[in-house]
Chains A and B, each alone.
Chain A
């Protein structure tokens, strides 16, 4: 028996800011920065949005596409590194907002950018063991970069929800493997507003080591080669890392295109790989095979081998991820700083 995806839904806030606009304020050549990061714009949440609202919108979008009774969802897990509360789960608000309470379990996950993929695996386990009928895994973030830091050019906001189950699948998850070590490449201490990172340490010993190792583990386990896949989506902290890792593994740039949202909306952290997958599912046809590897600092990778089924044709189509990324309103730095709480207000 195989677990898989029953439905999917994503949400990207409408506001954007360009690297050039950010660079202007900090005396950096923003356009050059954007080119070196492979990012044209990043998404910015409105002051009345946060991981809770984004997760709700993504979850509702997911359920809009299928006829699933919300009370059949036995578990909801939300992964993020910018949960609005340090204590009080995002998942319960989502559960209430989609009507799946009260007979169910819920929790929030944290593992930097791979909290969402970890949630998928948890849902798979509960489904395969028949503890629940459906589980919802959400990855969403509104992460911030410190003013003037390199991360400010890429840290953005967005989220996606996957409904996991054993029946009525639109895609089967054939395999999943993970690769986890204690590698402190990027972190945020309790009480700190902005994360810290190890600069170049975040590359080879962190992102590349875990993504590559996990990807190879998956292809071993699945007995597959890059050519076997129609699409590949890797965690995308910028537009360069996933292309580099893809090429190194033997994937073609074109296989990555559909899932590469970072170029237009930046790095949505826990939402990134899930949103990339949603974008692929918007256009995938039955039989398409998808290679997905997430990455979270700290560090670890979760990889998934996915095959799209004929069930995907039965989905009620709604707004595509591409349409969401194109619905964009660009901001100046002042408005962006105001929205992101970077301006000290009275009482702060």
Chain B
């Protein structure tokens, strides 16, 4: 991904910055300019808010066939996670055997390298999720 394009979303990629609708209170991730529920009522009222990073696995898969940049990580687990604030996102699940992942598992956000723009290019960082311990 081109450097400026990645950089623009760093607050959300590093820190789960989302938006809270000033009209209905719904939390969206990533940030939105218009609340899907409120439409025009929400324009100008969307407030930045960091999400907690605690969530539940709604569904997942174990990826065996992946782009070359994932060569060292295959097979890896990809999941749709519902954060406790209600917003959902897609992320890898780490620190767990793929066979032990379950729908309903509690997970929390960590910070990992997502990829790079080739051997000489920018390194890209962001969230991956691991099972909540204890």
Contacts and interface: CB of A to CB of B under 8 A. Distances in A.
Interface in B1-51: 10-11, 14-15
Max chain A Cβ within 10 angstroms of own Cβ: one of B10, B14, B128, B133: B14
Contact of A48 (B10, B11, B73, B133): B73
Contacts of A50: 113, 123
A96 to B, nearest CB: 6
Contacts of A85: 123
Given A53-B125, A84-B123, A97-B111, A338 B14 contact: no
Given A56-B111, A85-B123, A48 B94 contact: yes
Interface in A43-92: 46-50, 52-53, 56-57, 60, 84-85
B14 A53 contact: no
A310 B112 CA distance: 35
A347 interface: yes
Contacts of B113: 48-50, 52-53
A194 interface: no
Contacts of B123: 50, 52, 84-85
Contacts of A347: 119
Contacts of B125: 52-53, 56, 93, 97
Contacts, number: 47
A99 interface: yes
B1 to A, nearest CB: 16
B114 interface: yes
A53 B133 contact: no
A99 B73 CA distance: 29
B100 interface: no
| Interface range for A | 20 to 34
Interface in B64-85: 71-73
A57 B119 contact: no
Contacts of A47: 72-73
| Binding site secondary structure of chain B | mixed
Nearest to B11: A96
Contacts of A96: 10-11, 14-15
B7 to A, nearest CB: 10
A80 B94 CA distance: 25
A46 B125 CA distance: 14
Contacts of A1: none
B61 interface: no
Interface in A10-65: 14, 46-50, 52-53, 56-57, 60
Given A53-B125, A97-B15, A99-B15, A319 B133 contact: yes
A339 B11 CA distance: 28
A345 interface: yes
B112 A48 contact: yes
Interface string B100-115: 0000000000111110
A345 B71 contact: yes
Contacts of A53: 111-113, 125
A327 B96 CA distance: 11
A331 B113 CA distance: 21
A50 B115 CA distance: 12
Interface in A331-348: 338-339, 345, 347
Nearest to A50: B113
A46 B94 contact: yes
A47 B72 CA distance: 6
Contacts of B94: 46, 48
Nearest to B50: A99
A97 B110 contact: no
Nearest to B116: A84
Q: Which 4 A-B pairs have the closest CB atoms?
A: A47-B72, A56-B111, A48-B112, A97-B14
13 contacts: A46-B112, A47-B73, A48-B73, A48-B128, A49-B113, A52-B113, A52-B125, A53-B112, A93-B125, A99-B15, A319-B133, A338-B72, A347-B119
Given A47-B73, A93-B125, A327-B133, 16 more contacts: A46-B112, A48-B94, A48-B114, A49-B113, A50-B113, A52-B125, A53-B111, A53-B113, A53-B125, A56-B111, A56-B125, A84-B123, A96-B14, A97-B14, A97-B125, A338-B72
